[in-house]
Amino acid sequence: MARSEVLYIMFSPQQWNSQHSRTRAFAIELSRLGYHTIYVNPPNSLAGIVRESIARAFYPLRRENVHFHDSSEMLEVWSPPILPTFYRGSVTPGVDRWLFKAWFEKKINKIKKPIIAVIAMPYWWDGYINDYVPTFSATVFDYQDSVGTYARSARIHKNMSEVFTELVSQVNGVITHTETNYKNILAHRKPSEVCLIRNGGNDISARRPSNSNPRKRPDRPVIGTVGRISNNIDVALLLELADRFPASSIVNIGTVSKDIRALRSKKNIVLLPPMLQDELHSNISRFDVGILPYHSGIEGSPLRVYDLLSELLQVVSTNFADSGYFKEVIHIANSHDEFIAKTADLLSDKKNWISAETIKNFVSHNTWKIRTEKLTLFCESLLGR
């Protein structure tokens, strides 16, 4: 089937400008591959609306160009200031569903081509798109994390587990991004209906150079990472790194949702806000060593590792569940002491460095373009089922 004859609708769990959005990356690559793609931002909390209103004064529907190969294609981005009130069991249907219904029906009313909907958050299924499922030629659940994490992060009520079960059982197929999740979903679906598509990253040669003003490389060594500091991050390890490397800067680029007082108590811990990709890579390029300070028990395939590796950095990681996939290109530690020792060795001596060619080869085989091509093969195999 020709790419232009298929429409993809990506229901994202994160805002368009999130620096680590799997769904956003899929949407951009789908458009670059020639598919017409609609990217749907998630409903926003009242606090989010207030923040956005203060920051922008207006919160309009907007379109974003992303340098498509076919200049006639555009990625349509929906950013309505609505409240996520319409969940199963909710006492208030909410104006949010009415707004979404009016917007969405206008978008798809006259579309004749096959529509593939990729849902990356359970609450879209419950109250937002149930009415439209018959319109979709195929519906796929992008299962990015456990339902418990979804529910905690989105403050979704207790019935979300019911929605999750319904979603897994009723969609045409399920996408997972870790081997653990893949095996779990196989308990509910046939192998032909489940596809393991790991997270990916930008190719080194494909990244755009930074448009920001160039800055001098810091005089002191920089040990850095990227992403949200939340329950997945071993904050105690970050604090220990700050104590063991007092002459270095320990830098995180991203939001901080826990232990901020403890982190700010260390003068050499630098917390930078989230930023756009070109600026992000401009800052990562100033790191001397990258780190992945996860709690060892987490499940996940972190997006941040690809950002660090695309700058050909040496990366030290805890031995989290999915770290084995990266074992050829990162240095894995089994304890705080080993983590600190490996970091010190990489800062002082290059003899244990992983070669740049090995990292380049890994990055080139783990790009979003390659992941998206696998996504389309799987999704389009479900058409007509």
Task: Specify the pTM.
Answer: 0.83
129 and 20 in a common domain: yes
241 and 187 in a common domain: no
First-to-last alpha carbon distance for the chain, in angstroms, is: 16
Three-state DSSP state, 347: helix
Q: Cα-Cα-Cα-Cα dihedral of 352, 266, 275, 285, to 10°?
A: -30
Q: What is the DSSP string of 210-258?
A: P-SPP-PPPSS-EEEEES-BSTTB-HHHHHHHHHH-TTSEEEEES-B-S
Tokens, residue 184: 């779990």
- Whole-angstrom Cα distance, residue 119 to residue 125? 8
118 and 96 in a common domain: yes
Predicted pLDDT at 49: 41
Q: Distance of alpha carbon 19 from its chain centroid, rounded?
A: 7
Give the CA distances from residue 123 to residues 108, 136, 284, in Å, rounded to whole numbers and listed in that order: 20, 18, 34
Predicted pLDDT at 175: 95
321 and 255 in a common domain: yes
170 and 46 in a common domain: yes
pLDDT tens digits, residue range 28-38? 888 888 888 88
Tokens, residue 198: 């790991």
Angle at 160 between CA 154 and CA 163, to 5 degrees: 125
- Whole-angstrom Cα distance, residue 199 to residue 367? 8
171 and 23 in a common domain: yes
Nearest residue to 294 via CA among 320, 315, 313, 314: 320
Percent helix, strand, coil in the chain (nearest 5)? 40, 15, 45
Predicted pLDDT at 166: 80
246 and 190 in a common domain: no
Predicted pLDDT at 214: 47
Which amino acid, one-letter code, is at 333? A
99 and 86 in a common domain: yes
Nearest residue to 172 via CA among 120, 118, 126, 218: 118
Three-state DSSP state, 62: strand
Predicted pLDDT at 22: 86
Backbone angles phi and psi of 328, in degrees to 5 = -80, -15
Q: How many residues does the chain have?
A: 385
Q: Distance of alpha carbon 186 from its chain centroid, rounded?
A: 23
Angle between helices 235-244 and 336-348 (to 10 degrees): 40
Nearest residue to 13 via CA among 107, 145, 178, 137: 145
192 and 305 in a common domain: no
- Whole-angstrom Cα distance, residue 79 to residue 275? 19
184 and 252 in a common domain: no
Q: Residue 321 is part of which domain span? A: 204-364
Tokens, residue 129: 């798109």
> Residue-wise over 122-157: b if at least 16 C-beta within 10 A, else e?
bbbbbbbbeebeebbbbbbbbbbbebebbbeebebe
374 and 352 in a common domain: no
373 and 356 in a common domain: no
Q: Given the DSSP bridges, would you call strands 62-64 and 75-78 parallel, antiparallel or unpaired? A: antiparallel
- The Cβ-side half-sphere exposure at 52, using a 13 Å CA radius, reads 17
CATH number, domain with residue 261? 3.40.50.2000
What Rg, from alpha-carbon coordinates, does the chain have?
Answer: 21
Count of domains forming the chain? 2
- In this prediction, the residues of the chain whose per-residue pLDDT falls under 50 are 44-73, 79-87, 89, 91, 146-157, 208, 210-215
